[in-house]
Each structure stands twice: as C-alpha cells, then as structure tokens.
Amino acid sequence: MSESSNEVVISIRDVVKVFPDQAGNPVRVLDGITFDVRAGETLVIMGGSGCGKSTLLNCLIGELRPEEGQILYRTRAMTQPRDLLAMDEAELNQVRLRFGILFQSGALFNSMTVAENVALPLKEHSYVDPSIIDIVVTMKLQQVHMLPHRDKMPSQLSGGQKKRAGLARATALDPEILFYDEPSAGLDPVTSAAIDDLIMDLSKKIQVTSVVVTHEMDSAFRIADRMVMLDKGRVLMVDMRDAFERIRRTPPDQLAGDEERLIHQFLNGNTKGPLTDSETFQLYERQIIAGTR
C-alpha cells in the first residue's frame, strides 16, 4: 500500500448536485459534500445504491456540473489550487490529461486491439514518436500482465482482462490521479482480488493518487488508506481504514449513535438496522426505483 502525505490534491467543498424527480421537483443527490483527497493515498468512496457516489465521481472528473460548491485541484503543474467549476472547456481538458479513469466496463473500443486501445491516449494527447509509443504500450501492458494479449480484440477478452486492459490505457499518460468506477463489479472473488492487487501495485510503482468508488467491502478494506462513507447524498464519515474496521467489528449496541450503527450495518451487509428502519427509508426506496437517486 502506498504511503500518503498530508498534501491535498483534491479539495471538495460543500458540493451540491440537484436532479429533478418524476414530478419535476428538485432532489439533492449530493447534499453538501466536503472532504479532501491527499497525494499518494488510495481513497475509497463507498455507500449503498443510490447514495450519490457515481454522481460524485462524475462531478470530480468534470462530466457533471454541481449547482453549488467547489472542487479544487492542485496538480504538479499548478502553483495554487484551481476550482474545476470555474474552468472553461479548454482548461478542463488540460486538467483531465492528469487523470486516468478505469470505467466499470473497461470501456474499450471494440474496433481496436488491446494495444491500439492503450496507444490511443498517446496518439491523441502527446507528441511521442510512434516507435516510442509502442515501447510505452508494451510497458503499460506488462504492468497489468496483459502483454500476451496485446493483439486480441476486446471481444476475445474475459471481464477481468478487459479491466486490466482498461487500466493499462488509464495509465498511458502517467496520470497523477487515477479514478476507478466499481473496479470489482462483475468479477469473481479471485479476479477481483487480482485487480485489487494491481491497484495497490500501481499506487506504489507509479506513485499515483487513487480514488476508488465501490460498494464491494472486501475490496474496499483490502485497498483503502482512507474511506469516505456516503448516505443519501451526504458524508457520514471520513477516516482511516482502521476507524471503519473498528466500527465493522464492534457490536451495534456498543456503538455511539445511529450514524455509527448505520455504517456498521452497511459494512456487514445486515438487513436490520437504521439504514433500513428509518422513517424515510420507504421514500428513499421509491426515489431509487424512480431513478432520482
């Protein structure tokens, strides 16, 4: 696991994102989100379905624009933090060059080989000689143990291999920050653990900051330095992994308040507890079914 510092590379402050429900009424899917991401750490963002974690990820990469708040970035090229929401499209695209994103499906282009997929960011966003591009592609595929599959098409790959190839492409431009959207989704436990090992290995080897959105608890506790727990669009807790481990292992009647008991319920996958027993739970379920969460 990589060692994180106290240097903040992303500062999320009071972020609010609103979507209309079926009746056209505004619903706060993100309701005042505030936390920091530190350089070199692996930060896991977790929570139940509809809690807002995917919406938050899309705000962090500039795909969605919050109605309120700030998302402050400080990459190595910046002399001071800059608000993502104050950037025009050209400025935003420059910052995005410092990101790598592993999408849930891998998001490979089906008409390209694995090697061509990995080479694409280099061809589009760098001035590297074609002979050097091939060397870089080879290195990136070696890092994720996919070099023997470089000439295969995505349709010839397993789910885990697609994730590995997607990860090679995400690191092609040597990003400072890697975003992962449900990296273990749809994978068997052994393959999921192998992807987790890759995340930790890359964090150490290329000294990248990793932000991982997941609801897979085994994966979360394996890779995280720190964790953020979301519920109904708000931050319940931000702390080191050990603090969440303490809550996970403590009997509910020994925890301090409903929020810790809710976190305990989620971390352990229990069907009974404040997460499902609250007065607003039926409304919350309806919002999820309606697609407003």
Give residue limits of the domains in the chain: 8-98+177-241+275-290, 106-174
The answer to whether residues 187 and 160 touch, using CB atoms and an 8 Å cutoff, is yes
Instruction: Measure the CA–CA gap between 232 and 254, rounded to whole angstroms.
Output: 24
Instruction: Measure the CA–CA gap between 279 and 175, rounded to whole angstroms.
Output: 44
Q: Which option is the CATH number for 8-98+177-241+275-290: 2.60.120.10, 3.40.50.2300, 3.40.50.300, 3.40.50.720?
A: 3.40.50.300
The pTM assigned to this predicted structure is 0.87
The predicted structure's pLDDT at residue 135: 93
Mean per-residue pLDDT over the chain, rounded: 88
Q: Which is nearest to 167 in space by CA: 140, 206, 187, 194?
A: 140
Q: Torsion angle, CA of 100/106/109/112, rounded to 10 degrees?
A: 90
The answer to whether residues 46 and 220 touch, using CB atoms and an 8 Å cutoff, is yes
Of residues 243 and 280, more confidently modeled:
243
The predicted structure's pLDDT at residue 1: 44
Whether 180 shows a pLDDT value over 70: the answer reads yes
Of residues 138 and 291, more confidently modeled:
138
